[in-house]
């Protein structure tokens, strides 16, 4: 079933955004269905991380609307934006932990920072979140004592500490071995379903991401090249989407950065660097 505005937690309506003179999004519209796992994919530099920053209100759209639960993030006064951000968990690449704090204190950090809960209650919540990622027994360890995959899971426990409605993952699988990658992917899916979250994943790992996603959005050339279920996107006849989902080197997205013809560049010291 296609998502509708009524059943979506995030909605982009004709969003235009750029950094300085550089246009990144040129009238982008899409929906992020509530309770589902949505994958945001596309070529490197296409603006996927920027989409997450627009949702989090770190940057504002030049035109159009970025709705979170029906309210335009770009027009929220600071207190409303702060409240909205508390409903979002963000997990950025390599989910940097505080290196001088134990696993326990890392997960307790947002609770101590943003709530007035007693230490006893914080302890219970932290242990519950660590249990959800399979690391209750690792609470005394320091970040230097855990593996990369475990560190990622600690960061995930920290991202869900405040019971967010939305969790955004930026490259959650980067640098993981295939086993840790599979574990991380299953965990994202499982937490989404058991905690009633809505998840957005930015990832280059096509196979694993298509496996766990309910909805896929492919960004290209400042717009949406395709969106729908993983099967529907896989079956897309659009040449750009076809190239992307099949990881083909040739197609509308070129392997080569624009350059003068090869014969004009080689064996010709004029015009090039000596």
Ligand X SMILES: Nc1ncnc2c1ncn2[C@@H]1O[C@H](COP(=O)(O)OP(=O)(O)OP(=O)(O)O)[C@@H](O)[C@H]1O
Which among 47, 7, 3 has a CA at the least distance from the CA of 213?
3
45 part of the interface to ligand X, by CB under 6 A: yes
Instruction: Give min distance, CB of 261 to ligand X, in A.
Output: 25
Report helix, strand or coil for 192: helix
Residue 216 and residue 231 in contact, taking contact as beta carbons nearer than 8 Å: no
Nearer to ligand X, 44 or 144 (CB): 44
Of residues 26, 29, 35, 49, which one binds ligand X by CB under 6 A?
49
Stretch that binds ligand X, among 29-37, 42-50, 130-138, 188-196 (CB under 6 A): 42-50
User: According to CB under 6 A, which one of 7, 19, 82, 124 is a site residue for ligand X?
Assistant: 19
Applying CB under 6 A, what is the total number of residues that bind ligand X?
A: 9
47 binds ligand X (CB under 6 A): yes
C-beta neighbour count of 137 within 10 angstroms: 10
Residues 6+ apart with CB under 8 A from 201: 37, 38, 39, 40, 168, 169, 172, 188, 209, 212, 213
What whole-number distance in Å separates Cα of residue 5 and Cα of residue 7? 6
Cβ 248 to ligand X, closest distance in Å?
18
Outline where DSSP puts E strands in the chain.
8-19, 22-33, 37-42, 63-68, 71-72, 88-91, 166-170, 198-202, 215-220, 223-228
Radius of gyration of the chain from its Cα atoms, rounded to whole angstroms: 21
Residue identified by tokens 């492919």 is 218
Q: Which residue number, 28 or 133, has a Cβ lying nearer to ligand X? A: 28
258 touches ligand X (CB under 6 A): no
Please report how close the Cβ of residue 71 comes to ligand X at its closest, in angstroms.
Answer: 23
Smallest distance, ligand X to C-beta of residue 26, A: 13
- Spatial contact of 198 and 9, defined as CB atoms under 8 Å apart: yes
Task: Check residue 50 for interaction with ligand X (CB under 6 A).
Answer: yes
57 interacts with ligand X by CB under 6 A: no
Asked if 24 interacts with ligand X (CB under 6 A), we say yes
89 binds ligand X (CB under 6 A): no
Q: Which of residues 171-210 bind ligand X (CB under 6 A)?
A: none
Give the relative orientation of helices 178-194 and 148-159 as an angle to the nearest 10 degrees.
Answer: 10
Residue 51 or residue 191: which is nearer to ligand X going by CB?
51
Please say which residue, 44 or 194, places its beta carbon nearer to ligand X: 44
Q: Based on the shown chain and the rule CB under 6 A, indicate whether residue 48 belongs to the binding site for ligand X.
A: yes
Least separation in angstroms between residue 59's CB and ligand X is 8
C-beta of 236: minimal distance to ligand X in Å?
A: 19
74-95: b (≥16 Cβ within 10 Å) or e: bebeeeebeebbeebbbbbeeb
Binding site for ligand X (CB under 6 A): 19, 24, 44-50
């Amino acid at each position: 079933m296609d998502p509708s505005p009524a059943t979506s937690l995030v909605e982009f309506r004709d969003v235009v955004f750029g950094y300085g003179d550089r246009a990144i999004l040129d009238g982008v519209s899409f929906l992020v269905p509530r309770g589902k796992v949505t994958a945001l994919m596309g070529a490197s530099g296409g603006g996927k991380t920027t989409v997450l920053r627009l949702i989090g209100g770190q940057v504002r759209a030049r035109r159009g609307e970025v709705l979170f639960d029906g309210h335009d993030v770009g027009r929220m006064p600071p207190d409303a934006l702060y409240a909205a951000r508390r409903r979002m968990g963000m997990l950025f690449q390599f989910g940097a932990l505080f290196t001088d704090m134990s696993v326990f204190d890392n997960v307790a950090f947002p609770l101590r920072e943003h709530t007035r809960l007693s230490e006893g209650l914080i302890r219970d919540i932290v242990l519950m979140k660590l249990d959800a990622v399979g690391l209750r027994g690792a609470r005394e360890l320091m970040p230097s004592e855990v593996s990369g995959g475990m560190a990622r899971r600690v960061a995930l426990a920290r991202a869900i500490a405040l019971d967010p409605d939305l969790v955004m993952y930026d490259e959650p699988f980067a640098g993981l071995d295939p086993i840790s990658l599979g574990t991380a992917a299953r965990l994202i899916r499982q937490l989404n379903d058991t905690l009633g979250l809505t998840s957005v994943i930015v990832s280059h790992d096509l196979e694993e991401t298509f496996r766990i996603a309910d909805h896929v959005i492919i960004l290209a050339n400042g717009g949406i090249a395709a969106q729908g279920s993983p099967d529907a996107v896989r079956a897309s006849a659009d040449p750009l989407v076809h190239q992307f989902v099949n990881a083909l080197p040739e197609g509308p997205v070129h392997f080569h950065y624009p350059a003068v013809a090869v014969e004009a560049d080689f064996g010709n010291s004029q015009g090039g660097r000596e």
